[in-house]
């Protein structure tokens, strides 16, 4: 690709971004889109959205949102959206920091070395090939490769220092926020699975006798988990249907206030609230009879929540092997009550490892099934191949502009579209795996998407795009550094366009929220349903973390090989910082909190990227006949790996365990403040498997679900019995 | 190699074995060798060895020892030598069982299929090449390969079933013996490392304040660990010197009883006991002054033993993360007092991970440094090469017998000699790694020797012996099954001779104890020192487990490819069972007990062997154009791996953790029997870092060390202060 083609691509993308950002600044001012762009406010303030009056200002694009988003401090974000959001923004901050340093060094020192690598005259820059700016242009055995080696040392050193600072600071934040958070029922609770069945006593009695025998002084009570059978599922469907009706009914009630025309969007007849009320009673009767039936069919699972009198006891019970059969009485700290993935709790513990292996195999198969589309995409960047496949395109492709678009833009757009189906699939896989909490599911999906993206976007593109057939490259491990070293500089052009399209464009589409916007319009104008605060999405860490981290990987790998990519990346990360900050503050409503569990995953991936970059550099130095530079890179790899080992030992346990000192101090504080009684009272109502009945009764008061989750009335009527000791 | 060459090798080895076993049955009857062949009895019964009177029977070989060894039941072995010895014998029992089944199937069904694989006339059997009996003789695309596939299924199925039974039974034994064992101080004790230094208080005060704060109800006391400085080392050397003198002195005292001539073996002058007594006083004075000096130089380490009031509290304290900095207050269950590796306890905890990585790298380097000798050994089996290297051998090698010896015998003897230096090196590596107990050191050395042996004996031989150069074979992973499939049948001959030489001969030399015998003779007749019960060796698991397991691996891999090896292996394992049983009962004196910790290592290696055998079979079926048989082998690999995953989940935690239920039951039993007070009293004297002073004082009474280790007087005078709460 030539510089002019790159500039075309940059032009298209800048235009697209400006258009979309301007569009956003207009759309966000329309009151009809309040639910799309201010979901969090909607959920928090329970503000009924109002039709604003027409004003000219509403249709003028303005950058005020950028200023607003920029203005939020980290403490404010922490208060608004929790630690997970802060950790996510920290990834962007880290990327901005390290790639500023990298850009400075590589543009100032490495780029000139690359450009002036070959003797002889240079073309006019726009018609210069992009390869001139990559390390491929440096002569073999050149002494200037030292510049690259030193640059690699500086970048790696800075990256490790910044990583250490971030890891330490996030670990501290996690600790201080766990310590400062109000008493959380999940700290007092463990989840026991694989309770042995006995013919003499019920499962519940088994739990009680076991814990009052071996944890006598601290055991408080327990709550069995029931298997939700088919009846339960039918009920759930009925409820959902019913909810829909209640919403329509509210539109009907609103009618008396004169705001809306209460027409059923599809048929146009006026809905009758009294009719609906009757229906509600019908469904309630159905429900109670179903529930009666249900209590017989509801089967106790071999799992239970066990409550303890203090946090330390719960931690101890979760850490110590309970019996000499490790497959029985398996204990774990319970997830937060809002985070419990109830429908997975009935899964027999013995099944879990098989599920995990099955999903592992399925994920690998899925990863390899994705190869054909990637290969096709790469075919596009080699036009001759495409012309052979579709001869009728030959004429069209003669136009320079079309060629530039096809080679510079189309491949990554197609790849991006293909990648859209990955996160839902991985989420499904993670659900089947059997995690006990939504956050664990999301984390697992995040890891899967991450591996998938790195493999299919980075490696597959590198190998299929280069001349070496991918099978040969994979099958000779010791040659991999060399093969990568040959292939990566060649693919640098693709990665630059990938940053422009997948990166910049994805940020713009993220902020405009195209899909929710369309969905909102359809819902409002065709179905005429009210906006549901329940449907406010939580932040999609499982798609965004892998994306941001992937760009980091591309950045590290290309930094010294093709430094031209760095400014584009820097723009991406800076824009991303503003966009995501805005989205976190305004759009998404986090339903659960993992207290920064995502960081170790990110840290490991960044280390992987660094080591990969170093190994590729090693190969490149080897190919360019600079054994000294190669030799000096090997200690760098070892030092980076040692640094990672240190970090894993120093910080990782903080994200996996709770320390005795901390929980004992928290317990003591509770005692001093005399709130133990209150905590223990509340504890037994915290986990509620079947809250639907009350929820629906309250729903008819016209309130949304989100609000009631904070109330206590519902919890007190939890239909599941808690077995007091 | 031809059948006749194999028979030569078998003949040599049988003769050697018979000679050595006969020699053993004579030597063991000589009273002078009592300390070599009955070390355990010597240590247990403190029987002074006596010169027996001459009788003719003493010089007639007899098989009575075989009958005796055979007669011991497992319970007796358990009582005599502990669980570790039983586990070791179980490896042999498992091998005998599985290879009986394999021999039955392979000799009856697979061997005829191999032999009749090619059409055409067969030679007279002695001049038939051994390859005729391997799978290499089966025609490509033959339908008879089904026999091999079915045989593989049967062997794998039996192996898994037997492994499961063994794992379950060993886990049960471990649990029941931990529960039934008398109260052990190590169950009440944890080792705390990385105690934070503070300027305000001493380390000992830190420990006390931390544990009486956070484990107030169960903390009993603690004992700091001191760094043994150079002065300590000089002292130790002085003591060793002194001990030698005391021994000579005793010979002097014995003189009055008229048994020995009290001559110094080297110079022949009569030793004067009064002179020696004076010396002893001198050294005692020296020692006390050194100790005085020492108490100033002795530095408190950042490590301590902390004692708890019950077992459960110790387990909890060892499992739970203590503070939010995972590098401080690191807790582990303490090893048994006789098992503590005192000189490693002072190593700062932060150093450990670096040491481990350094040793890992060192071990890998050592493994690869071993390649040249292995290659040389393999060169021997290809005579042409040898003749090229040493032309003067050409004449010699024309003799048939010499050729047969050189190809059939010499290579594995040389390899065996080289392998002798491996275990001490690995033991040294494991010491540097910084384990806290002797048993952990031995286990770690065992794993290292195991990896080393499998790599250098199995893989290196396979790859260097075959035509493919080893570097190519290693660098193409997807071809490895095919390469192995080509190489292993070719190397089957070498493995048969390896079983004969390294296997059979090592058993014979093990039972005759050549080195200790020679050492004993030298000691007795030249240095005239008394036999020291301290020097009775403990069972060398780190050399014997890898050896036995390696033969299992060779057996699994060769079973369907070259079934001729199986009878030789079966003889090895049966002979090994008798020999090791005899040695365990008579020779070795186990100083510590890991309660079967070795089994998970063995289990994993056997699974690895099975999977390796299956993968090689897969390659062989592929090469022989039998895609159906290949296809049917893949599920077998997956099933075997799933089986291993199940076992790891079901049994492995039992070997790593102690269950709450068990320790609480043990605590309650103690309470019911009212022996808690006594246990806690004894607890504080259990761990003694500097017991030498009393030891030496007692040594002068003429008793051996082993006996005193059981006594209490010594412990009561432990010079290290225990800090009571």
pLDDT confidence band for B100 (50 / 70 / 90): very high
Range picked from A63-77, B80-94, B672-686 for highest mean pLDDT: B80-94
Residue where a domain stops, chosen among B656, B678, B708:
B656
**pLDDT above 70 (res B379):** no
Residues of A in contact with B214 (CB under 8 A): 660-661, 664
Q: Where are the alpha helices (DSSP H) in A323-478?
A: 342-345, 349-369, 371-381, 383-389, 400-408, 410-419, 422-433, 438-453, 460-465, 470-475
Kindly state the helix (H) or strand (E) to which residue A202 belongs, with its residue range.
none
B368 within domain boundaries:
no
pLDDT of residue A254: 45
Is residue A644 located within the same domain as residue A548? yes
Is residue A393 located within the same domain as residue A522? yes
A428 within domain boundaries:
yes
Contact A650 B175 (CB under 8 A): no
> For residue A576, what are its two tokens?
């991303």
Is residue B202 located within the same domain as residue B288? yes
Nearest beta carbon to residue B315 from set A320, A327, A653: A320
Lowest mean pLDDT: which of A181-185, B132-136, B528-532?
Answer: B528-532
Question: By CA distance, what is B658's nearest residue in A?
Answer: A321
Listed residue (B157, B44, B49, B34) closest to B614, CA to CA:
B157
Asked if B315 has any chain A CB less than 8 Å from its own CB, the reply is: yes
Q: Buried b / exposed e across B80-89, counting CB within 10 Å, b at 16+? A: bbbbbbbbbb
Nearest beta carbon to residue A175 from set B324, B649, B657: B324
Contact B646 A353 (CB under 8 A): yes
Q: What are phi and psi of B434, to 5 degrees?
A: 90, 40
Is residue A532 located within the same domain as residue A414? yes
pLDDT of residue B549: 94
Residue where a domain stops, chosen among B614, B640, B656:
B656
Residue B60 CA, distance from chain mean position = 33
Q: What angle do CA A637, A639, A643 make, to 5 degrees?
A: 120
Check if the beta carbon of residue A214 is closer than 8 Å to that of residue B666.
Answer: no
Is residue B13 located within the same domain as residue B116? yes
Q: In angstroms, what separates the C-alpha of B290 from chain A's closest C-alpha?
A: 40
Cβ–Cβ pairs < 8 A, chains A and B? 98
A339 within domain boundaries:
yes
| Interhelix angle B400-408/B371-381, nearest 10 degrees | 150
Chain segment B622-639, per-residue pLDDT in tens: 888 888 888 899 999 999
Number of domains chain B contains: 2
Query: Which residues have a Cβ under 8 Å from the Cβ of B37 and sit 6 or more positions away?
Result: B24, B27, B28, B513, B586, B587
Is residue A651 located within the same domain as residue A504? yes
Contact B660 A214 (CB under 8 A): yes
Contact A653 B319 (CB under 8 A): no
Check if the beta carbon of residue B177 is closer than 8 Å to that of residue B139.
Answer: no
B299-308: strand order across its sheet: B330-333, B189-193, B299-308, B219-227, B723-724
> For residue B537, what are its two tokens?
């060796």
Dist. CA A295–CA A689, nearest whole Å: 13
Chain segment A126-147, per-residue pLDDT in tens: 777 777 787 877 888 788 888 8
Is residue B283 located within the same domain as residue B169? no
Q: Buried b / exposed e across A169-190, counting CB within 10 Å, b at 16+? A: ebbebbbebbeeeebbbbbbbb
Dist. CA A622–CA B31, nearest whole Å: 69
A723-724: strand order across its sheet: A330-333, A189-193, A299-308, A219-227, A723-724
Q: What pTM was computed for the model?
A: 0.82
More confident residue, A495 or B285: A495
Dist. CA A93–CA A90, nearest whole Å: 5
pLDDT averaged over every residue in chain B: 78
Asked if A330 has any chain B CB less than 8 Å from its own CB, the reply is: no
Listed residue (B239, B269, B274, B268) closest to B253, CA to CA:
B274
Residues of B in contact with A331 (CB under 8 A): none
A662 within domain boundaries:
no
Nearest beta carbon to residue B324 from set A475, A642, A654: A654
pLDDT confidence band for A691 (50 / 70 / 90): low
Residue where a domain stops, chosen among B604, B638, B656:
B656
pLDDT confidence band for A250 (50 / 70 / 90): low
Listed residue (A246, A547, A563) closest to A412, CA to CA:
A547
A661 within domain boundaries:
no
Dist. CA A296–CA A303, nearest whole Å: 18
Dist. CA A253–CA A255, nearest whole Å: 5
Residue A611 CA, distance from chain mean position = 24
Nearest beta carbon to residue B326 from set A322, A645, A649: A649
pLDDT of residue B701: 38
Asked if A635 has any chain B CB less than 8 Å from its own CB, the reply is: no
> Which one of A213, A215, A219, A321 would you mutate to disrupt binding with B, by most B Cβ within 10 Å of its Cβ?
A321
Check if the beta carbon of residue A454 is closer than 8 Å to that of residue A591.
Answer: no
B583 within domain boundaries:
yes
Listed residue (A581, A426, A612) closest to A510, CA to CA:
A581
Residues of B in contact with A649 (CB under 8 A): 326-327, 353
Question: By CA distance, what is B655's nearest residue in A?
Answer: A324
Contact A320 B660 (CB under 8 A): yes
pLDDT confidence band for B506 (50 / 70 / 90): confident
Dist. CA A170–CA A643, nearest whole Å: 17
> Which one of B324, B360, B667 would you mutate to disrupt binding with A, by most A Cβ within 10 Å of its Cβ?
B324
Is residue A408 located within the same domain as residue A388? yes
Nearest beta carbon to residue A650 from set B326, B357, B650: B326
**pLDDT above 70 (res B554):** yes
Nearest beta carbon to residue B659 from set A315, A324, A659: A324
Q: What angle do CA A717, A718, A722 make, to 5 degrees?
A: 115
Dist. CA A504–CA A567, nearest whole Å: 12
Is residue A216 located within the same domain as residue A261? yes
Check if the beta carbon of residue B588 is closer than 8 Å to that of residue B77.
Answer: no
Contact A316 B316 (CB under 8 A): yes
**pLDDT above 50 (res B618):** yes
A663 within domain boundaries:
no
Is residue A563 located within the same domain as residue A712? no
Contact B660 A476 (CB under 8 A): no
> Which one of A167, A317, A326 would you mutate to disrupt binding with B, by most B Cβ within 10 Å of its Cβ?
A326
Dist. CA A562–CA A113, nearest whole Å: 11
pLDDT of residue A51: 53
Cα B390 to Cα A345, B215, B379, distances in angstroms: 73, 73, 12
Q: Strand B330-333 and strand A330-333: pairing?
A: unpaired
Cα dihedral sign for A336, A341, A342, A347?
negative
pLDDT of residue A705: 36
Residues of A in contact with B325 (CB under 8 A): 650
> Which one of B196, B479, B659 would you mutate to disrupt binding with A, by most A Cβ within 10 Å of its Cβ?
B659
Question: By CA distance, what is B654's nearest residue in A?
Answer: A324
Residues of A in contact with B315 (CB under 8 A): 320
Nearest beta carbon to residue B659 from set A322, A354, A642: A322
| CB atoms inside a 10 Å sphere around CB A287 | 18
Question: By CA distance, what is A478's nearest residue in B?
Answer: B475
Nearest beta carbon to residue B645 from set A321, A323, A353: A353
B712 within domain boundaries:
yes
Residues of A in contact with B649 (CB under 8 A): 326-327, 353
**pLDDT above 60 (res A608):** yes
**pLDDT above 80 (res B258):** no
Q: What DSSP line would sit under B198-260, residue for residue?
A: -SSS-HHHHHHHHHHHHSTTTEEEEEEEEE--HHHHHHHHHHHHHHHHHHHHHHHHHHHHTSS
Contact A353 B478 (CB under 8 A): no
Question: By CA distance, what is B477's nearest residue in A?
Answer: A475
Dist. CA B409–CA B502, nearest whole Å: 10
Check if the beta carbon of residue B100 is closer than 8 Å to that of residue B559.
Answer: no
Range picked from A429-433, A617-621, B176-180 for highest mean pLDDT: A429-433
Is residue A339 located within the same domain as residue A356? no
pLDDT confidence band for A717 (50 / 70 / 90): very low
Cα dihedral sign for B327, B328, B331, B332?
positive
Chain segment B47-67, per-residue pLDDT in tens: 555 555 666 767 777 777 888
Is residue B543 located within the same domain as residue B631? yes
Asked if A64 has any chain B CB less than 8 Å from its own CB, the reply is: no
Chain A, 204-243: which have a CB under 8 Å from a chain B CB?
214
Chain segment A382-404, per-residue pLDDT in tens: 666 566 666 666 666 667 677 76
Number of H helices, E strands in chain B: 35, 5
**pLDDT mean over B220-229:** 83
**pLDDT above 70 (res B239):** no
Residues of A in contact with B652 (CB under 8 A): 326
Expressed as residue numbers, the domain containing B312 is 185-351+660-724
């Amino acid at each position: 690709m030539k510089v002019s083609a790159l500039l075309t691509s940059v032009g298209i993308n800048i235009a697209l971004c400006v258009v979309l950002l301007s569009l956003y600044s207009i759309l966000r001012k329309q009151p009809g889109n309040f639910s799309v762009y201010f979901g969090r406010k909607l959920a928090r303030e329970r503000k009924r959205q109002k039709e604003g009056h027409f004003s000219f200002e509403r249709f003028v694009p303005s950058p005020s949102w950028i200023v607003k988003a920029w203005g939020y401090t980290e403490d404010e974000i922490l208060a608004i959206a929790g630690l997970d959001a802060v950790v996510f923004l920290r990834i962007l901050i880290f990327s901005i920091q390290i790639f500023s340093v990298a850009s400075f060094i590589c543009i100032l020192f490495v780029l000139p070395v690359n450009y002036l690598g070959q003797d002889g005259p240079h073309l006019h820059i726009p018609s210069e090939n992009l390869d001139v700016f990559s390390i491929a242009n440096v002569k073999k055995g050149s002494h200037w490769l030292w510049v690259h080696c030193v640059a690699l040392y500086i970048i790696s050193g800075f990256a490790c220092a910044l990583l250490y600072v971030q890891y330490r600071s996030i670990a501290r934040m996690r600790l201080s926020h766990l310590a400062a958070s109000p008493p959380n029922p999940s700290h007092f609770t463990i989840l026991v699975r694989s309770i042995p069945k006995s013919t003499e006593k019920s499962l519940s009695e088994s739990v009680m006798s076991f814990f009052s025998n071996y944890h006598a002084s601290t055991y408080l009570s327990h709550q069995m988990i029931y298997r939700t059978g088919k009846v339960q599922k039918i009920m759930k469907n009925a409820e959902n249907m019913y909810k829909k009706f209640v919403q329509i009914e509210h539109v009907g009630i609103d009618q008396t206030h004169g705001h809306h025309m209460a027409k059923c969007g599809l048929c146009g007849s006026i809905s009758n609230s009294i009719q609906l009320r009757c229906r509600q009673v019908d469904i309630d009767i159905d429900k109670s009879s179903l529930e009666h039936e249900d209590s017989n069919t509801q089967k106790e699972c071999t799992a239970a929540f066990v409550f303890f009198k203090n946090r330390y006891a719960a931690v101890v019970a979760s850490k110590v092997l309970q019996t000499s059969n490790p497959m029985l009485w398996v204990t774990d700290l319970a997830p937060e009550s809002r985070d419990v993935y109830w429908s997975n709790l009935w899964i027999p513990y013995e099944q879990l490892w098989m599920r995990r292996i099955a999903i592992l195999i399925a994920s690998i198969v899925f990863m390899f099934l994705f190869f054909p589309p990637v290969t096709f995409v790469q075919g596009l960047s080699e036009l001759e191949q495409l012309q052979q496949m579709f001869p009728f395109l030959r004429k069209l492709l003669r136009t320079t502009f079309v060629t530039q678009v096809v080679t510079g833009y189309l491949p990554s757009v197609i790849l991006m579209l293909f990648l859209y189906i990955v996160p839902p699939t991985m989420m499904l896989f993670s659900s089947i795996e059997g995690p006990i909490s939504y956050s664990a599911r999301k984390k697992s999906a995040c890891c899967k998407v991450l591996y998938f993206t790195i493999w299919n976007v980075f490696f597959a593109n590198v190998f299929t795009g280069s001349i070496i057939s991918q099978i040969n490259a994979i099958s000779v491990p010791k040659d991999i550094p060399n093969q990568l070293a040959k292939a990566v500089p060649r693919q640098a052009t693709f990665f630059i366009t990938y940053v422009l399209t997948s990166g910049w464009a994805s940020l713009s589409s993220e902020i405009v929220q195209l899909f929710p916007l369309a969905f909102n319009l359809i819902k409002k104008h065709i179905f005429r349903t009210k906006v549901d605060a329940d449907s406010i999405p939580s932040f999609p860490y499982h798609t965004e973390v892998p994306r941001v981290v992937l760009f980091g990987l591309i950045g590290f790998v290309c930094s010294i090989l093709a430094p031209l990519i760095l400014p584009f990346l820097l723009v991406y990360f800076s824009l991303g910082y503003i966009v995501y900050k805005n989205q976190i503050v305004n759009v998404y409503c986090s339903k659960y909190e993992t207290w920064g569990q995502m960081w170790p995953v990110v840290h490991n991936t960044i280390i992987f990227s660094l080591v990969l970059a170093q190994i590729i550099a090693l190969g490149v130095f080897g190919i360019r006949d600079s054994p000294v530079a190669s030799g000096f890179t090997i200690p760098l790899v070892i030092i980076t790996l040692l640094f990672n080992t240190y970090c894993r030992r120093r910080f990782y346990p903080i994200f996996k365990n709770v320390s005795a000192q901390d929980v004992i101090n928290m317990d003591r504080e509770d005692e001093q403040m005399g709130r133990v009684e209150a905590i223990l009272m509340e504890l037994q109502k915290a986990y509620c498997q079947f809250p639907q009945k009350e929820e629906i009764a309250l729903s008819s008061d016209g309130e949304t679900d989100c609000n009631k989750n904070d109330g206590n009335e519902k919890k007190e009527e939890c239909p599941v019995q808690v077995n007091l000791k």
